[in-house]
Structure 1
Amino acid sequence: MNSIGFPKGTNVFVTGGSGFIGGRLVECLVRDYEANVTALVNRPYAGALRMCRFPVNTVFEPMTDQKAMQKAMSGCSIVFHLAYAKSGNAKEDYKVTVEGTQTLATAALKCGVDRFVNVSTAAVYGNRANGIIDETEPRIRWGWNYSDMKLDAENVVLDFHKSRGLPGTVLQVAGVYGPWGPVFTIAPLRQLQAGRVGLPNEGKGVSNATYVDDVVQALLRAAVMESAVGEIFMIKGPGRITRLEFYEHYQRMIGENDRIVLLKGTNLKSAFRSKKRAATRQLAPSAVRSLKSNPEFRAALTASGLVVPLKWACNLVRRKNAATASSLTASTAAKTNEELPLHLPPAFYGKYLAAETEYSIEKANRLLGYDPQFDIHAGMAATEQWARWARIIDCQVGES
């Protein structure tokens, strides 16, 4: 990243420094550019442990505290704003995220920063029709609290630029994965290990997958390019990667090949009904297993005189199972896999995941010189190496 032109020794303020993208940004700033970093740390504070090996000044004050943010930002020439609230209810998170951005923008103006880079999401374009879209597409509120509050935070930065001269830039990132990634790395791996994952539209939706280091590249470029001021940029990785292709990489990592369920259409109602029926079928066996370990239940069962009939019934089932075990077919073996838990996205999210919409990075390439370096194979290789190191997946699986 040394060709970006980011000045060494710069005083930088980073919000969300304990998060996934923010943590990687802080690492690169200190390691590659010898930056003097002040990082706002969000709850849970465990994420700040990644920064312990670096001389980073950490701030634990609320993002809505005007005096605290101005003090933390004092002397900094660049602000990277990645933080948002996610620990309260929807109304509380929205208030902190949007008002917090207003607080930061005001503090940035008073401190005279050279650049205010705000990280948002490409989800602000909602469930668009299939095809390639760019920044001229209307941004909308569509009912997902995360996307809606990010859209309003974007507008805060853009309004501050137009009305008060804030040197602000908005980056709309998409599908960010890689080491420490909670949503597009850790969660899919955990779900595929524990059961199956359902993908709407038979997995044809475009993931717009972006490796975290490419996002960091975009952030650094947005901080130094004059052409970035007052602009919005879509940021994604190279190529057109479907959600099926994306999940297949994780499936291979854990040594499985049948954990992905391709759901037709975008309506998840039938899948939710099937999941509910499967859960209902497990109620009785689960209750029996729980009761068997209860001493009071066992004593009452013995006193009732039902032990012998129950033992006779259980032995009959065992003999029947033993007689059919040797004749299992491929179809019955597959049925065993079907009994694994099925992980489904929230109902409102199904159409978004199904959309075959690709985001254009032409503007970012033209004005920022943004050129993503990690295709899906390189990004997933680096992600797998980390996941094995972090013991998220078995070190032995997939190794030769």
Structure 2
Amino acid sequence: MNDFAGRRIVVTGASGFIGARVVERLVLDTGAEVRALVRGYGRAARLSVLPQERLTFQTVDLDDPRSLRKALHGGDLVVHCAFGSQGEVADRWRTTVEGTANLLAAAKLAGADRLVHLSTVDVYDTTGLTRFDETAPPLPENADDREYEQQKAAAERLVLAAHGDGPETVVLQPGVVYGPWGGQWTVAQLTRPAEEFEELAVTGAGGACNAVYVDDVVDAVLAALAEPAAAGRKFLVGGPDEPGWGEFFDRLREIRGLTAPAGTAARGAVPDWEQALYASPARVDAALAARVLTAPRTTLDDGMARTAEWARWAGYGAPGGASR
């Protein structure tokens, strides 16, 4: 792994789940000079315990090209984890899509060498597929839909199109990212009403989960910053094993001290659209990332054991919740 000694690496969304872990790993595991870009300092407390010799913080607004130019000045490499997560859909679209365009322009002006963009598996149309890789059809563009999937797809198109006209670009497309400090697939699951778990799949049931532990995603980020063969390409990022949603939810039940449902629960607590997500058989084929970047190392058992330790420390789950 490249040590990045003497390199200035700028990380957007540095107070978020993946962005904060990227910052931690860069500071603790490499010699990089890290510039953590945050919307505000309120969520950056997690990073305040890190050694500060090679870490600086800067507030930035992706909607403000001037603040971005200032934030990226002197940056050699950029990791783009930020996206629109607040406000109305038009505000989120502006931050995710137009903000990405602003960032690409600022990176070009700064003379940055490479930009790694965190996208998502949701940019593919997996209808009718049981397994898919980077050659799968993209999500069809829909001018009337400006929600998360379309936002990320539009931002990704901008990043790939910018390669060769400014910094080299690399796009990473992780699946269901979980782990300590995680939002949708960790904390939200550890705090959702217990009765909803009566309707969620158990081991042996449900579709493909495509779970990937956060450190495996960060490993791919660090490799993508340095690997020459990654330039201009996109990579699906998955875990080393292939759990179903039943296995995923059973690990969460163990952390929370919940028992698996004994029979068929009355339906209604979990909406149909969410149940449809958990029924999809579409399995990520992340062989390209394993070959060009780095192979994932954290199995669902190992990742959930680490998540359980953190959950007990953070006050989530049952005190006696199992860890494997």
Partner residue of 1:251 out of 237, 250, 253: 253
Deviation for aligned residue 1:76: 1.3
Distance 1:393 1:64, change over 3 A: same
- Kindly provide the CA deviation profile for residues 121-144 of structure 1, in whole angstroms up to 9, marking residues without a partner as x: 001114432421100111114757
Aligned-residue identity in percent: 34
Q: Which residue of 1 aligns with 2:230?
A: 228
What residue identity is the alignment partner of 2:63? T
Deviation for aligned residue 1:49: 0.6
SS of match in other structure, 1:199: coil
The reply on whether 1:363 has 2:293 as its aligned counterpart is no
SS of match in other structure, 2:180: coil
Q: Which residue of 2 aligns with 1:39?
A: 36
How many pairs does the alignment contain? 317
Q: Which residue of 2 aligns with 1:188?
A: 189
Q: Which residue of 2 aligns with 1:125?
A: 124
* Bigger mean CA deviation after superposition, 188-197 or 218-227: 188-197
Q: Which residue of 2 aligns with 1:328?
A: none
Once the two structures are superposed, the pairs formed by residues 91-170 of structure 1 within 5 Å of their partners are 91-141=90-140, 145-161=147-163, 164-170=165-171
**Inter-partner Cα distance in structure 1 for 2:184 and 2:300:** 17
What residue identity is the alignment partner of 1:41? V
What residue identity is the alignment partner of 1:29? L
The reply on whether 1:48 has 2:63 as its aligned counterpart is no
What residue identity is the alignment partner of 1:92? D
| TM-score, L = length of structure 1 | 0.74
Decide which structure has the larger Cα Rg and report it.
1
What residue identity is the alignment partner of 2:282? T
SS of match in other structure, 2:236: strand
**Inter-partner Cα distance in structure 2 for 1:158 and 1:360:** 20
Deviation for aligned residue 1:46: 3.3
| TM-score, L = length of structure 2 | 0.90
Deviation for aligned residue 1:41: 1.1
Distance 1:120 1:68, change over 3 A: same
Deviation for aligned residue 1:225: 0.5
What residue identity is the alignment partner of 1:23? A
Once the two structures are superposed, the pairs formed by residues 21-40 of structure 1 within 5 Å of their partners are 21-40=18-37
Alignment RMSD, CA only? 2.4
**Inter-partner Cα distance in structure 2 for 1:232 and 1:260:** 43
Q: Which residue of 2 aligns with 1:316?
A: none
Deviation for aligned residue 1:362: 1.2
What residue identity is the alignment partner of 1:85? G
Deviation for aligned residue 1:58: 1.7
Distance 1:166 1:240, change over 3 A: same
What residue identity is the alignment partner of 1:365? A
Ranges in structure 1 where 5+ consecutive residues have no aligned partner: 264-270, 276-341
Deviation for aligned residue 1:190: 1.3
Distance 1:113 1:150, change over 3 A: same
Ranges in structure 2 where 5+ consecutive residues have no aligned partner: none
- Kindly provide the CA deviation profile for residues 243-300 of structure 1, in whole angstroms up to 9, marking residues without a partner as x: 011000011122221359878xxxxxxx7xx53xxxxxxxxxxxxxxxxxxxxxxxxx
Contact 2:126 / 2:132 at 8 angstroms: preserved in 1?
no
SS of match in other structure, 1:13: strand
**Inter-partner Cα distance in structure 1 for 2:257 and 2:97:** 43
Contact 2:107 / 2:166 at 8 angstroms: preserved in 1?
no
Q: Which residue of 2 aligns with 1:14?
A: 11
Contact 1:125 / 1:138 at 8 angstroms: preserved in 2?
yes
SS of match in other structure, 2:42: helix
SS of match in other structure, 1:46: coil
**Inter-partner Cα distance in structure 2 for 1:75 and 1:357:** 42
